[in-house]
Amino acid sequence: MGTVESVTGPLELEELGVTLIHEHLCFRDEANAIQWPHLYDEQALHDAAVVAATGALEVGVRTIVEPTAMFGGRDVRLLERVARETDLQLIACTGIYTYDFLPHYWVTRDADAMADAFVHDIESGIQRTPIKAGFLKCAADAPGVTENVEKVHRACARASLRTGVPIMAHTFPAGQTGLRQMEIFVEEGVDPAKVQLAHTGDTDDLDHIEALLDTGAWIGMDRYGLEMYRPLASRNETVLALLQRGHADRMFLSADSCATIDWFPAEAEEQLLEHGAVDRDWSTRLVHDKVLPALRDGGMTAEQEHTMLVENPRRWLARG
């Protein structure tokens, strides 16, 4: 069946088991952390990541696909420590998570040079470690597919073509960016079946979702618990509608949880919870504790559940 790179070495695809396709064990501004390390409690970050990993294992998850890239504070050494301490299988990525900004280094270099850096992470190792990336990550959001964002997408496409690893693309359904993102990948010659359009579950526009599926891409129903974007029950209605239309074999379920995230001060985080903008149970456990029981009650079959959580990740991560 083939292998995929994890932070502890190659894994046989049949060993992946139940897989959450989009969860972060740490998300922070790497420049901030480098310049003012005293602002961060490294032990607390580590402990939170271990809690997230342990929680996933307790509900039956075997593997987490960890899509933290540049500008998210990617730390593969942390991921490796957590994987070895908990025995959770973790798959890291390469790429750039930006809605527009790029450092001058990349503004003045072309997509091929950027692709070279991504390929290095895939074939040689990340951050001067032997840990290799198992997939590529890029993003488009409210600003749309800007010139810089397009460069990152084309670099990901070229790196994918050179290495065979798949691409996860953060999308902005409110702006329907996914269609333009797919156009770029197809222009570059990428097989649409290598592309996952993350955060598709933020919309209930079934016509738009069908248009994305018509491109041949996968879709991520992967922000459960982020009520500010869409309530859990509403997300489930869309998933159930898509299951009824026969799309179980093109969807993933996940929560996009962050064991730690530095976007807000502690008091703001508490306000988000108090006002229901974020589910208090937003974590690596949420899909199994809340989402799956509700989907089962709504008519999801055991076969459909297995397809979305076991078979689809294997198929998407297969290199080639």
Tens of pLDDT along 195-228? 999 999 999 999 999 999 999 999 999 999 999 9
Burial per residue of 2-33, b for 16 or more beta-carbon CB atoms within 10 angstroms, e otherwise: ebbbbbeeebebeebebbbbbbbbbbbbeeeb
Task: Give the tokens for residue 131.
Answer: 């840990």
In this structure, the strands spanning 251-253 and 93-95 are: unpaired
Determine phi and psi for 182, rounding to 5 degrees.
-65, -35
pLDDT of amino acid 97: 98
Give the C-alpha separation, 309 to 224, whole Å.
15
Q: What is the pLDDT of residue 126?
A: 99
Q: Cβ–Cβ contacts within 10 Å for residue 248, how many?
A: 20
Q: Which residues pair with 261 in a beta bridge?
A: 27
Domain count, the chain: 1
Structural domain harbouring 121: 3-317
Are the C-beta atoms of 20 and 63 separated by less than 8 Å? yes
pTM, to two decimals: 0.97
Q: Look up residue 237 and give its two tokens.
A: 């209605």
What does the pLDDT read at residue 173? 98
**Which stretches of the chain drop beneath a pLDDT of 50?**
none
Nearest to 32 by CA among 71, 77, 69: 71
CATH of the domain at 252: 3.20.20.140
pLDDT value of position 291: 99
Helices (H), the chain: 30-35, 42-58, 76-86, 104-107, 111-123, 147-163, 177-187, 206-214, 232-244, 266-274, 286, 292-297, 302-306, 312-317
- Classify residue 147 by burial, with Cβ atoms within 10 Å: 0-12, 13-18, 19+: exposed
